[in-house]
Amino acid sequence: MSVTVVTYGTFDLFHVGHIRLLKRLRAMGDRLVVGLSTDSFNELKGKNVVIPFADRKEILLSCRYVDDVFEENTWEQKRDDLIREKADIFAIGDDWAGKFDELEDIVKVLYLPRTKDISTTELKTVMREINEEKVREAKNVATHLVDLLGKL
């Protein structure tokens, strides 16, 4: 009997935490299917994605642990997706612990610990800090040039 695992996510700025999660999920079954949040759904959730949906989908499909990817457009679609995909296991990060327990009547629901010390949010924070530092440096250079021009 084949075991299908379904998970959901944005998978923006694909990193080692994503790989480790997908590897763990794939090890739980014979088939791993990912519900990938669309750009418009991420917007509704208040998330700004760096990489557009089509590219994130291509990245996921190129990963050897992922068998298929479908669009996640709403919070409410999970039950229908799990039935359509004939899912045996629905697994997601433990930051969602308890939020999907109502699906246990159709699948085994698992909440997995996140990869320590890596997240897309942290990567975006670091990128923002680097950008802010570059802006500060540019302002300092501009101020210095204005001062030099004023002395001429």
Give the domain range for residue 149.
119-152
SS3 for 87-139 is: CCEEEEEHHHCCCCHHHHHCCEEEEECCCCCCCHHHHHHHHHHHHHHHHHHHH
Q: What is the pLDDT of residue 121?
A: 65
Are residues 74 and 104 both part of a single domain? yes
Residues 139 and 84 in one domain: no
Question: 């924070």: which residue's tokens?
Answer: 125
Q: What is the pLDDT of residue 135?
A: 59
- The pLDDT of residue 113: 86
Instruction: Assess whether 106 and 130 both reside in one domain.
Output: no
Catalytic (active site) residue 151: no
Report pLDDT digits (tens) over 119-147. 666 655 655 666 667 656 766 667 766 67
pTM: 0.77
pLDDT at 48: 86
pLDDT (0 to 100) of residue 117? 66
**Are residues 84 and 43 part of one domain?**
yes
150 shares a domain with 86: no
Per the residue annotation, which of 23, 45, 86, 139 is the catalytic one? 45
One domain for residues 31 and 103: yes
Q: How many domains does the chain have?
A: 2
pLDDT < 70: residue spans in the chain: 115-132, 134-136, 138-141, 144-146, 148-149
Pairwise CA distance, residues 108 & 90, whole Å: 6
64 and 102 both lie in a single domain: yes
Pair (70, 36) in one structural domain: yes
Domain match, 103 and 39 both: yes
42 and 80 fall within a common domain: yes
